[in-house]
């Protein structure tokens, strides 16, 4: 009997609480996707090339998975609390029919187990599909052809970890549900839906004071963040605590003061206040603000974290790509650091003697030297290397850049040890002088840079095989675009994975909390919607009122979170000012699209569900 009853209740839950089940499925899918990274194509490739960042990515994802599991557990427990509140009358009816509290707890245990099994199965299927999409996204970051690694793979390790984590969460939900039912009195269960919150009028003066104080707290938090910078504000613990406290208190005070402001404003405009069902809509929303302003504050902070982390990770990926292009202007650069003792090496001759066709496999090459500085000859001080002007212009020409000219006796300092001039770095503080002065100096190091024409990986492997014997006689340092890009792609993947993992988790939590809250309130309002119909309200007006209440709940936290995120993105840009700025335009557009799909999807699903409840009242 209990099994059939539990199965019937689960089927009904799919119809009435689809958002809850959808959240469970998304949570399981999200957890599996980011714990199956070790089997995805990008990390498989980085493992094959021996990139050490794979271990760091795996370790960090394991650490953050524990944090994400805690967040999802709190979300599921919060959602289950709302659902039990909605079902109080039903559970009380079971007790009236003669079931004991232990039997009702057993029924809830079976229902939660069935819902857990269904959401685990659906979430794992969704996670496998999402991991394929994530693999395609990360493989698209590579400049070489790695399409052979793009395949749908199932990770037993990630699936087992997901089942264990969520199994523990569902067991915790079962236990707490049973405890909550066992401690409830029959009369509280029967009349649970009739308990309304007492609406205490709040003086306008109090609301104004709270609003002004909240704005002042937020302004102080913004000032600390922008004046000291994000890195310093987070690193100094007392300063971080003060900033976070001011931001949280300011957000809370603003939401707490809204009810007084909105009520006085609308009541001051009778045409708006008495239009359609605005009186009912406003009263219903304000009657919940007194207890939901805490939830609104939490949701706003979650949205801030979701927006900030997602936008920063996406923008940082563009910045890392720009850094890679600057660090690797040539496909390969070989640095002969023993040129002052052993002499220069004719790299072109070495390659051609080994059967390498430089004419067809290389689109361009340059061989030049950096010289020891002699201040008496060059007139340059505080540098350790000298580069001839003609060599510099040859390098610039191969990069498609305009040449430079020097007046007699003039010199030019290269910034940051000559970074961006060859692949890797010149490794010494360098100045450019006229050829006549440079050729009189002693050779310090030799550099050979080239670009490929065909398959980059295959061409580079041929060059390295021919160069390796020379490394026993000369101190050669080889830096290539592929090796630098592989290292940089590892950093990009780390930033992208962590950003998307945390961003999606916080966004899912924020949207689900609001959706479940609004569904619970809509269920409580069904009796009031029925009364409105008896009073002559049109069906269109009742549905519109339900949608407006959902819109207020979703849009207010999002609006304040966007204000917070603008300040946060400004501070994030200042951190990486020395290497470039976060691509705020592109990252903001992508983040807006993510919010529109996830947050907007929850808003739409919640609105439709609330409108259906209002219609069926």
Residue 216 pLDDT grade (very low, low, confident, very high; cuts 50, 70, 90):
very high
Domain count of the fold of the chain = 2
CA distance 190 to 185: 9
* Helical residues (DSSP H) of 101-229, grouped into ranges: 101-139, 156-182, 186-190, 204-228
The whole-chain average pLDDT of the chain stands at 78
pLDDT tens-digit series, residues 331-383: 899 999 888 888 888 988 988 888 888 888 898 899 999 999 988 888 888 88
Q: Which domain holds residue 36?
A: 1-193
Task: Return the number of other C-beta atoms located less than 10 Å from residue 60's C-beta.
Answer: 14
Q: Considering the chain, what percentage of its residues have pLDDT values greater than 90?
A: 5
End position of a domain, from candidates 458, 474, 490: 474
End position of a domain, from candidates 171, 193, 215: 193
Q: Is residue 218 part of a domain?
A: no
Q: Select, from the ranges 137-146, 527-536, 539-548, the one with the highest average predicted confidence (pLDDT).
A: 539-548
Q: How far apart are the first and last CA of the chain?
A: 30
Residue 275 three-state SS: coil
End position of a domain, from candidates 421, 440, 474: 474
pLDDT tens-digit series, residues 160-171: 888 898 888 888
Q: List the one residue out of 274, 32, 245 whose CA is nearest residue 158.
A: 32
Give helix 204-228 / helix 539-575 axis angle, nearest 10°.
30
CA distance 2 to 195: 30
Q: Is residue 64 part of a domain?
A: yes
Q: Are 514 and 606 in contact (CB under 8 A)?
A: yes
Q: Is residue 503 part of a domain?
A: no
Q: Is residue 268 part of a domain?
A: no
Residue 187 pLDDT grade (very low, low, confident, very high; cuts 50, 70, 90):
low
Residue 578 pLDDT grade (very low, low, confident, very high; cuts 50, 70, 90):
very low
Q: List the one residue out of 498, 523, 446, 48 whose CA is nearest residue 305.
A: 498
**What pLDDT is stored for residue 549 in this prediction?**
84
Q: Is residue 202 part of a domain?
A: no
Looking at 48-122, which runs of residues are DSSP E strands?
none
Q: List the one residue out of 208, 198, 199 whose CA is nearest residue 264.
A: 208
Q: Is residue 388 part of a domain?
A: yes
**What pLDDT is stored for residue 32 in this prediction?**
87
**What pLDDT is stored for residue 368 in this prediction?**
92
**What pLDDT is stored for residue 573 in this prediction?**
67
Q: Is residue 161 part of a domain?
A: yes
**What pLDDT is stored for residue 576 in this prediction?**
55
List the single range of 76-80, 149-153, 404-408 with lowest mean pLDDT: 149-153
pLDDT tens-digit series, residues 104-113: 777 777 777 7
Tokens of 535: 């009073």
Residue 147 pLDDT grade (very low, low, confident, very high; cuts 50, 70, 90):
low
Residue 54's H or E segment, with its range, is helix 53-86
pLDDT tens-digit series, residues 19-29: 777 788 888 88
Q: Which residues contact 379 (CB under 8 A, 6 or more apart)?
A: 409, 411
What's the mean pLDDT in 226-246?
81
List the single range of 11-15, 300-304, 307-311, 418-422 with lowest mean pLDDT: 11-15
pLDDT tens-digit series, residues 308-328: 877 777 766 666 666 666 778
CA distance 50 to 44: 10
**What pLDDT is stored for residue 25 in this prediction?**
85
Residue 422, beta-bridge partner list: 419
Residue 146 pLDDT grade (very low, low, confident, very high; cuts 50, 70, 90):
low
Residue 197 pLDDT grade (very low, low, confident, very high; cuts 50, 70, 90):
very low
CA distance 337 to 271: 83
Q: Are 509 and 76 in contact (CB under 8 A)?
A: no
Q: List the one residue out of 129, 147, 128 whose CA is nearest residue 138.
A: 147
Phi then psi for residue 367, to 5 deg, are: -125, 120
pLDDT tens-digit series, residues 264-283: 667 666 776 677 777 777 77
Only one residue has tokens 């306008």, namely 204
CA distance 436 to 430: 17
Q: Is residue 292 part of a domain?
A: no
Q: Are strands 362-371 and 385-388 parallel, antiparallel or unpaired?
A: antiparallel
Residue 188 pLDDT grade (very low, low, confident, very high; cuts 50, 70, 90):
low
CA distance 487 to 578: 20
Q: Are strands 362-371 and 476-480 parallel, antiparallel or unpaired?
A: unpaired
**What pLDDT is stored for residue 323 in this prediction?**
66
Tokens of 570: 């400004």
pLDDT tens-digit series, residues 435-479: 888 888 999 999 999 999 878 888 888 898 888 888 767 788 888
């Amino acid at each position: 009997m209990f099994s059939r009853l539990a199965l019937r209740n689960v089927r009904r839950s799919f119809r009435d609480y689809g958002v809850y089940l959808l959240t469970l499925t998304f949570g399981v899918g999200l957890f599996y996707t980011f714990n199956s990274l070790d089997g995805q194509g990008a990390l498989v490739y980085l493992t094959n090339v021996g990139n050490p960042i794979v271990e760091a990515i795996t370790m960090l994802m394991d650490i953050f998975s524990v944090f994400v599991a805690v967040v999802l557990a709190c979300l599921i427990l919060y959602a289950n609390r709302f659902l039990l509140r909605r079902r109080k009358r039903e559970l009380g009816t079971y007790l009236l029919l003669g079931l004991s509290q232990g039997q009702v707890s057993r029924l809830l245990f079976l229902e939660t187990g069935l819902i857990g099994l269904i959401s685990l199965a659906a979430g794992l299927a969704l996670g496998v599909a999402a991991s394929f999409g994530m693999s395609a996204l990360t493989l698209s970051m590579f400049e070489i052809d790695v399409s052979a690694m793009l395949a749908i793979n199932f990770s037993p390790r990630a699936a087992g970890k997901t089942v264990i984590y969520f199994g523990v969460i569902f067991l915790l939900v079962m236990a707490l549900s049973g405890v909550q039912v066992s401690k409830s009195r029959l009369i509280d269960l029967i009349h649970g839906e009739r308990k309304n919150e007492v609406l205490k009028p709040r003086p306008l003066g109090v609301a104004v004071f709270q609003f002004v104080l909240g704005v002042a707290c937020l302004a102080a938090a913004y000032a600390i963040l922008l004046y000291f910078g994000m890195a310093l504000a987070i690193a100094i613990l007392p300063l971080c605590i003060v900033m976070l406290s001011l931001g949280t208190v300011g957000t809370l005070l603003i939401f707490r003061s809204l009810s007084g402001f909105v009520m006085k404003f609308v009541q001051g405009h009778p045409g708006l206040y008495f239009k359609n069902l605005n009186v009912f809509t406003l009263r219903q929303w304000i009657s919940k603000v007194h207890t939901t302003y805490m939830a609104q504050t939490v949701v706003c902070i979650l949205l801030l974290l979701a927006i900030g982390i997602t936008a920063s990770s996406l923008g940082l990926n563009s910045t890392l790509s720009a850094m890679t292009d600057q660090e690797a202007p040539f496909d390969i650069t070989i640095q002969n650091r023993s040129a002052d003792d052993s002499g220069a090496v004719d790299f072109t001759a070495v390659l051609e003697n080994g059967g390498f066709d430089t004419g067809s496999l290389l689109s361009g090459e340059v061989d030049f030297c950096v010289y020891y500085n002699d201040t008496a000859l060059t007139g340059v001080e505080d540098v350790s290397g000298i580069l001839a002007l003609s060599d510099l212009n040859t390098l610039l020409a191969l990069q498609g850049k305009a040449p430079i000219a020097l007046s007699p006796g003039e010199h030019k300092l290269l910034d940051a040890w000559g970074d961006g001039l060859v692949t890797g770095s010149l490794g010494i503080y360098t100045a450019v002088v006229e050829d006549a002065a440079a050729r009189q100096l002693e050779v310090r190091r030799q550099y050979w840079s080239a670009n490929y024409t065909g398959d980059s990986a295959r061409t580079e492997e041929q060059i390295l095989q021919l160069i390796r014997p020379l490394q026993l006689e000369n101190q050669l340092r080889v830096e290539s675009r592929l090796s630098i890009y592989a290292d940089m792609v590892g950093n990009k993947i780390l930033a992208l994975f962590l950003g998307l993992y945390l961003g999606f988790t916080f966004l899912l939590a924020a949207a689900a909390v609001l959706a479940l809250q609004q569904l619970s309130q809509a269920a409580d309002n069904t009796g009031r919607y029925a009364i409105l119909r008896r009073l002559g309200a049109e069906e269109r007006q009742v549905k519109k009122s339900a949608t407006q209440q959902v819109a207020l709940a979703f849009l207010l936290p999002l609006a304040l979170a966007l204000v917070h995120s603008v300040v946060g993105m400004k501070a994030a840009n200042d951190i990486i000012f020395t290497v470039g700025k976060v691509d705020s335009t592109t990252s903001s557009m992508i983040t807006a699209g993510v919010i529109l799909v996830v947050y907007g999807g929850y808003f739409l699903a919640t609105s439709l569900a609330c409108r259906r409840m209002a219609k069926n009242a």
